[in-house]
Structure formats: structure tokens, C-alpha cells
């Protein structure tokens, strides 16, 4: 996943596959329904902690990994 759009698509499709309504997901994640609506709409200012709670509630996880050759990028002056 490399874009916000990819994340939104994954969240929406996973929620739908689990047959959860946005309100059900919100309750499971401990966030408000409005947050889930905004997250799925791609609102750029959603809170990271709440987003991670939604991912966890869906059985998903977020990983951050270096892209390409990290050592070469770090060595640049």
C-alpha cells in the first residue's frame, strides 16, 4: 500500500467483506461513526491512532518498511 486511496479501499472492502456497517466498525474500534465515515471518504486529517484502532478492529495491521535502497538514500550529502 502506498497511497491514502489504497488504505481507504482496503478498509472499505474489508469492512464490507466482514458484513459490518460503519457504526458496527466504529463501536468495535472504539471510535465514532463520523470518524469511520471520514476515514472511508479519504479525509486527509484523520487521526493516526484512531486509524490504527480501525485497522486492528478489522484484523489488519500497518507496517512501515523502507522503500528501495535505504542505505543509498541516507548516504546522500
- Does 26 map to a domain? yes
- Does 76 map to a domain? no
CATH number for the domain that contains residue 53: 1.10.260.40
**CA atoms of 49 and 55, how far apart (whole Å):** 10
Which helix (H) or strand (E) is 16 found in, with range? helix 4-17
Q: What is the pTM of this model?
A: 0.85
Contacts 24+ apart (CB under 8 A), 58-66: 58/11, 58/14, 58/15, 58/18, 58/25, 59/14, 60/10, 60/11, 60/14
For 13-71, the pLDDT digits (tens) are: 999 999 999 999 999 999 999 999 999 999 999 999 999 999 999 999 999 888 777 66
Domain total for the chain? 1
Structural domain range at position 10: 4-57
For 33-42, the pLDDT digits (tens) are: 999 999 999 9
Amino acid at each position: 500500500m502506498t497511497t491514502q486511496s489504497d488504505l481507504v479501499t482496503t478498509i472499505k472492502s474489508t469492512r464490507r467483506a466482514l458484513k459490518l456497517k460503519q457504526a458496527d466498525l466504529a463501536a468495535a474500534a472504539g471510535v465514532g461513526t463520523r470518524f469511520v465515515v471520514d476515514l472511508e471518504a479519504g479525509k486527509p486529517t484523520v487521526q493516526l491512532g484512531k486509524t490504527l484502532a480501525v485497522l486492528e478492529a478489522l484484523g489488519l495491521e500497518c507496517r512501515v518498511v523502507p522503500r528501495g535502497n535505504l542505505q543509498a538514500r541516507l548516504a546522500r550529502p
